[in-house]
Structure 1
Amino acid sequence: MFDLEGSDDQRLQRARARVAVQFGFRDGRTRLARLHQSGSAKALMPDLPGSPEVVFLNTAGGLTGGDRVEFNLDLEAGARATATTQAAERVYAAASGVARMRCRASVGAGGALDWLPQETILYDRAALERETVIDLAGDARLLFCETLVLGRAAMGEELRALRLRDRREIRRDGRPELVDCVRMDEGVLALAADPAVLGGARAVALLALVAPGAEDALGPVRALLDEPGVAAAASAWNGRCLVRLMAGDAWPLRRQMIRLLTQIRGTAPPRVWQM
């Protein structure tokens, strides 16, 4: 057992990082209104046609116990944008303390956000607490995904110790639309092969479309849930369409996710997702 509750060792260098991006909507276009960056957190905005794309980046190269990272994105009414990460976020072994990540986004009425981070890879003895909160106003649209990978199968990694608290909350006009919490520790890992837990899966994901009429996406989404090596199920109700996926390895799950995102978006995922 390793120390997750103890205070951070101040002798070790810790990441302290924050980035905040705000877009307005002027003259029929989404335009950058504000950008703040500090520490190892950066936001890249490639020059692409169409709506802006924000690529969040943690230049520290990964997270470990004691690190603090915060990503913020605000879209004013009518603004549209895609947010992603430059690469998979790696959470390394923690000697002490817990890595904490906070992600916040807001979307004004008539706006649209595709929140599409790449995978989070958890190494043995990783300790992560992450909270993602997205506020939608009026008829705003959100496409959201989150993928967790329990070690790298190709490297033969096995997770024996872990602490994960991953909370995702989506609200519309201040009321919860979707609250999804993932908690993993040694007890869960010990039962990972049980069909009632992970069924031996090393990669799990949530894909959610939260928008007026999201139920219409259910049929086309279900028709795509045939990727070999991936178990998935989809449901829809009251302006939500959810897909849960699990696989023995991250690659087939990623292929399935790319197909789903392409179907829902009507275009390929962000360029940094390209395999």
Structure 2
Amino acid sequence: MNACAPPPVRLERSQGDAHVALALARGAVRLADLAQRGSAKAFLPRIAGPVPEVVFLNTSGGLTGGDRLDYRLTLGEGCRAVATTQTAERAYAAGEGAARVGVVHEVGRGGWLDWLPQETILYEGAALDRRTEVDLAPEAGCLIVESVVLGRAAMGETVRRLAFRDRRSIRRAGRPVLVDPLCFDDAALAAGRGPAVLGGARAFATLALVGQGAEDALGAARAVLDEPGVEAAASAFDGKLVLRMLAPDGWPLRRQVARVLAALRGRDLPRVWQV
């Protein structure tokens, strides 16, 4: 070992976690707990009213190898809420290791959660491992969406190197209702025009509606799957509705997602979406 060699550089990594708990009190949904640390923040621009909004934010400006980010929302019995992210999340090139994101939401009996994060943009060389878990009590339900964009077409960005693991799971009373894993790497990008992967698209999204009678919304969802340039399909059974969408870029995908959400929710998107 060379005694004159400089010591290895230890790069600073971002760490953050934010937890919000809401509960019914005196006939209204109220803030029961708020804890935040590091780069993860949460704010409630619309706490008043029957369906409050919770907005999560990563103040580090993006993710790279070794970063860790955790969001958590707990809804008490009978609570309804909308949760989202303040802007698109960005995963940049990772020199070593993967960025890890954990999302855990719990919905009490008879409650409902709309988890509507804005898209995740993956840049060349990004490494991201994300797990999203929604635990539903009996008679609870949820609507969740995840959108991913591989680089920005307007900036001429092309993604050829990538390590992306994304796992979504929804449980009711501890039993799996929907498990949706995804693993995307360099080999998948190289085969990106195959029928089993993206078919040449660079933006994709999954939407899931889980709750009693969710399958009844299939017709309304399919009726708006006509955004130009977007391929989409929907299926429904046994209290679940699942949609898959592919697009050549993030903007048409965003419009399609917004239209589907409007059809299923019957109310405006969170203000931070700005569609």
CA radius of gyration, larger in: 2
* CA spacing shift, 1:10–1:138, aligned 2, 3 Å: farther
**Alpha-carbon distance in 1 for matches of 2:239, 2:29:** 25
* Cα shift readout 1:108-154 (whole Å, capped 9, x = no counterpart): 11101000000000000000000011000111110100011111111
For 1:29, the equivalent position in structure 2 comes to 28
**Alpha-carbon distance in 1 for matches of 2:206, 2:111:** 22
1:259-270 → structure 2 map (5 Å cutoff):
259-270=259-270
1:174-213 → structure 2 map (5 Å cutoff):
174-213=174-213
1:76-225 → structure 2 map (5 Å cutoff):
76-225=76-225
**Alpha-carbon distance in 1 for matches of 2:235, 2:170:** 17
Alpha-carbon distance, 1:195 to partner: 2.9
1:51-90 → structure 2 map (5 Å cutoff):
51-90=51-90
**Alpha-carbon distance in 2 for matches of 1:119, 1:35:** 25
Alpha-carbon distance, 1:194 to partner: 2.0
**Alpha-carbon distance in 2 for matches of 1:153, 1:89:** 17
Residue type at the aligned position of 1:130:
R
RMSD: 1.1
Specify the SS of the correspondent of 2:231. strand
**Alpha-carbon distance in 2 for matches of 1:153, 1:49:** 39
**Alpha-carbon distance in 1 for matches of 2:268, 2:156:** 31
- Give structure 1 regions of 4+ aligned residues with deviation exceeding 6 angstroms: none
Identity within the alignment, % = 58
Residue type at the aligned position of 2:68:
R
Residue type at the aligned position of 1:35:
L
* Cα shift readout 1:143-199 (whole Å, capped 9, x = no counterpart): 100011111111111111110110000000100000001101100010012233211
Contact 2:50 2:80 in 1 (8 A): no
Alpha-carbon distance, 1:38 to partner: 0.2
Contact 1:230 1:246 in 2 (8 A): yes
**Alpha-carbon distance in 1 for matches of 2:267, 2:259:** 10
Alpha-carbon distance, 1:49 to partner: 4.2
Contact 2:29 2:49 in 1 (8 A): no
Alpha-carbon distance, 1:11 to partner: 1.2
Specify the SS of the correspondent of 1:260. helix
For 1:11, the equivalent position in structure 2 comes to 10
For 1:255, the equivalent position in structure 2 comes to 255
Gaps of at least 5 residues in structure 2 are 1-7
Specify the SS of the correspondent of 2:45. coil
TM-score of the superposed pair, with normalisation by structure 2: 0.95
Matched positions, count: 267
